[in-house]
Structure 1
């Protein structure tokens, strides 16, 4: 089964009909209509699904919810718009890559489109957030949607690397079987990066696994 696009087309068709998803989208639209500021912008909420090549999917990195500051979130977990200051969490990710792969050049921006083009799915568990209110959209339905995304990947793919950073992301391990690889460590935020994230070497470990499975390794460079 080489072309995976029809799987995702069918997946979205099915999810859109489900009560949880209808309620979820209605809540987002109601909030926007009531002048609440929601991030990312509506056109970017499903950005990762629009930009990733599902036939080249290699890695899934699970985030929590989007950045809640002005113009930061762009629909890719951990990523920000090109002209936005790099958040501390992403700076820590860059530091961890540099420790793991010394040739890595730390960029001056945080736009991770290159990773997406390499087949890295940057998936937040929660796809929206209210401005200035982290975790404000927990338990409104996004978890159901993204858990179903992970289940679809686990069902129709093999030899995918799942990077689960932090206790919240680690809960997703229950949806992933042994035909795929799971790597876990602490979250890259300043509050927990010192608990293992800096020295996890997930980036080189990912590539060693991909090479072992006869796949092209990920080029982790940003520029």
Structure 2
């Protein structure tokens, strides 16, 4: 069976999409159709957050990532998710945030230090070479949901959009991923990767989902349990146990 195609925002290519536009758009034009069904219960909260972001822009506060990318994690069909990696909030540096946790635009140099530490552990774990770019889109294409707990940030102000409503939406998203069932009623294959205390707070939502947990890869904590945790080989082992193959963690050369 062919995988479902990546859902794309039609207006994103034009670069004209605004947060105010998004707040008025039907939910199934903002996210993949099965995500629209899963998030229907928090649609009001999502529209409120998008209106808040429109207000930030109107007040002269740049917001990251761009409107066309703020819901990027939900463009891949919910049905295709095999691995959930939970981040905190987007990088506050202009040009870095692209709507996928830990990922940056492929042209960004140097890459953020947390991502550099992820690459170090990837090389130690699987022997895969570190890349000079930070585009993790190839992981997303294989069903790795790179989901930040908070999906936006004011430029230059890390954590500035916490407590503005995103947590309700991402809580619903994680719960939806963890509670998917196939036609036979069995839980669909999934492994959750929880790096750090913020991500660990999502564990109660995960039901019976196998979890790979460790310290966060940031420079402040990577040496306290992230390095040596071998998350990538552990994820693949848990996927194989569920009969779902492996993720090819090697990123392409750009």
TM range (shorter): over 0.9
Q: State the superposition RMSD in angstroms.
A: 1.6
> Aligned equivalents of 1:109 and 1:22: distance in 2?
33
Q: Could you tell me how far apart the structure 2 residues matched to 1:122 and 1:12 are?
A: 17
Tell me the residue number matched to 2:173: 149
Following TM superposition, by how much is the alpha carbon of 1:6 offset from its aligned partner in structure 2, in angstroms?
Answer: 4.8
User: Following TM superposition, by how much is the alpha carbon of 1:202 offset from its aligned partner in structure 2, in angstroms?
Assistant: 0.9
Distance 1:37 1:62, change over 3 A: same
Contact 1:53 1:117 in 2 (8 A): no
Q: Which residue of 1 aligns with 2:156?
A: 132
How far does residue 155 in structure 1 lie from its aligned partner after superposition? 1.4
Give 1:10 shift. 1.4
Residues 189-210 of structure 1: CA deviation (Å, up to 9, x unaligned)? 0000001101101100110111
Aligned to 1:199, the other structure's residue is in SS state coil
Alignment partner of 1:120 is 2:105: no
State how far apart, in whole Å, the 2-side matches of 1:14 and 1:174 are: 19
What CA deviation, in whole Å up to 9, does each residue of 1:29-76 have, x standing for no partner?
Answer: 1111222100001111001111x2433211000000000001100000
Q: Distance in 2 between matches of 1:156 and 1:167?
A: 25
Residue matched to 2:220: 191
Q: Is the 8 A contact 1:61 1:164 kept in 2?
A: yes
Q: TM-score, normalised by structure 2?
A: 0.81
Contact 1:72–1:81 (Cα < 8 Å) also in 2: yes
Q: How many residues are paired up?
A: 216
Q: Deviations over 1:124-168 (max 9, x none)?
A: 000000011000000000001000101111111533110000011
What is aligned with 2:95? 71
The aligned counterpart of 2:14 is none
Aligned-pair distance for 1:21?
Answer: 2.8
Question: What secondary structure is seen at the aligned counterpart in 2 of 1:114?
Answer: helix
Secondary structure of the residue aligned to 2:163 is: coil
| Residue 236 (structure 2) pairs with residue 211 (structure 1) | no
Matched, 1:7 2:34: yes
Q: Are the aligned partners of 1:210 and 1:216 in contact in 2 as well (CA < 8 Å)?
A: yes
- CA distance in structure 1 between the partners assigned to 2:141 and 2:35 by the alignment: 18
Match of 2:72 among 31, 43, 47: 47
- Please name the residue that 2:191 is paired with: 161
Q: Which runs of 5+ in 1 are unaligned?
A: none
- Bigger RCO of structures 1 and 2 (CA < 8 A, at least 6 apart): 1
Match of 1:26? Answer: 51
Deviation at 1:28, TM superposition (A): 0.5
Equivalent position to 2:117, from 66, 75, 92: 92
Separation in 1, partners of 2:123, 2:33:
37
**C-alpha deviation, 1:22, in angstroms:** 3.1
